[in-house]
């Protein structure tokens, strides 16, 4: 019984300390849905086709799911997000067991230069490079494997951009 008298208060203190920094709602002091954001089409400066469209669409979907900002679809938004995809790189991760020169798995990285500004004041809120990545398992056709991984790559980059926007770390 004595052990319980010491154990329960200690357990309660640890549990409450873990929840002390958590708070409900947006972390950037903006009420959910209070402001609108307009996502301009991303310019693709790489040789990977349709990557700009995939990133633009993924970012719009991610912002709708998040709900911190409303997506401006008809009227101009309070915030304007624009960007250009500047780098697309792949690096071999795993090789075939019987052939050490044939790559079986790749890590694909993409870098986009993102600019976020307020429409009314023209104030620049964020301008920086944001990265995303995904893994590609090469099957019988490398081109189709890479093409199938493009939405995953775009979704990861979009999530990283959306986190910067919604968390207000700028």
What pTM did the predictor assign? 0.79
Low-confidence residues of the chain: pLDDT under 50: none
pLDDT at 154: 97
Domain residue spans of the chain: 31-167
Cα 161 from chain centroid (whole Å): 5
* 88-98: pLDDT as tens digits: 999 988 877 78
pLDDT at 8: 62
pLDDT at 62: 96
Residue 100 contacts residue 145 (beta carbons within 8 Å): no
How far apart, in whole angstroms, are the C-alpha atoms of residue 134 and residue 73? 29
pLDDT at 13: 66
Q: For domain 31-167, which architecture applies?
A: 2-Layer Sandwich (3.30)
């Amino acid at each position: 019984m004595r052990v319980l008298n010491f154990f329960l208060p200690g357990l309660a203190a640890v549990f409450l300390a873990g929840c002390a920094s958590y708070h409900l709602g947006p972390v950037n002091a903006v009420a959910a849905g209070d402001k609108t954001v307009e996502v301009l089409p991303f310019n693709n400066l790489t040789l990977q086709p349709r990557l700009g469209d995939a990133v633009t669409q993924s970012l719009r979907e991610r912002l709708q799911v998040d709900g911190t900002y409303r997506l401006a679809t008809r009227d101009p938004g309070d915030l304007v997000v624009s960007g250009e995809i500047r780098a697309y790189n792949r690096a071999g991760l795993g090789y075939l067991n019987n052939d050490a020169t044939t790559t079986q798995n790749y890590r694909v990285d993409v870098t986009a230069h993102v600019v976020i500004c307020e429409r009314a004041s023209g104030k620049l809120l964020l301008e920086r490079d944001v990265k995303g990545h995904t893994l590609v398992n090469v099957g019988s056709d490398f081109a189709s494997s890479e093409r199938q991984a493009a939405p995953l790559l775009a979704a990861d980059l979009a999530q990283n951009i959306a986190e910067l926007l919604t968390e207000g770390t700028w």
